[in-house]
Amino acid sequence: MSNEKANYFDLVYQVVREIPPGRVCSYGAIANYLGLKSGARMVGYAMNAAHTLSDVPAHRVVNRQGRLTGKHHFETPTRMLELLEAEGVQIVNDQVQDFENRFWDPEKELGF
């Protein structure tokens, strides 16, 4: 938390790591929390490297539409879906059900 030397990737990892089970977050929300409001792409890019880490639940991070855009980057295209369902998140057609209710905002939960 007090790692000022934390790189952009590390910042993303920390936020994603704070995402509680059964909840999902959007790239834009993380980007906004980090100050990159329009840098959602960077968040997704960071997630690409995060997928190599076991401490970063990248499967809990979806796009603004609640859609599993990055599922294809997992070991298997269904890995992300399986992990989310295992946590209680219902996925239909690669889309999170009740996404609004399961949305986890770092600024709101962690407190800006």
Q: Could you tell me how many residues of this chain bind DNA (CB under 7 A)?
A: 32
Residue 108 engages DNA in binding (rule: CB under 7 A): no
Q: What is the Cα–Cα distance from 88 to 83, expressed in whole angstroms? A: 9
Stretch that binds DNA, among 67-75, 84-92, 98-106 (CB under 7 A): 67-75
Q: What is the Cα–Cα distance from 22 to 30, expressed in whole angstroms? A: 17
- Rounded to a whole number of angstroms, the minimum distance from the CB of residue 29 to DNA is 7
Nearest to 68 by CA among 53, 83, 56: 83
* Tokens describing residue 88: 């209680």
Residue 78 engages DNA in binding (rule: CB under 7 A): no
* Tokens describing residue 83: 């992990």
Residue 89 engages DNA in binding (rule: CB under 7 A): no
* Residue closer to DNA, measured from CB, 17 or 64: 64
The gap from C-alpha 75 to its chain's centroid, in whole angstroms, comes to: 17
Binding residues (CB under 7 A) for DNA: these are: 7-8, 26-29, 31, 36, 38-45, 47-48, 50-51, 58-59, 61, 63-65, 69-70, 72-74, 80
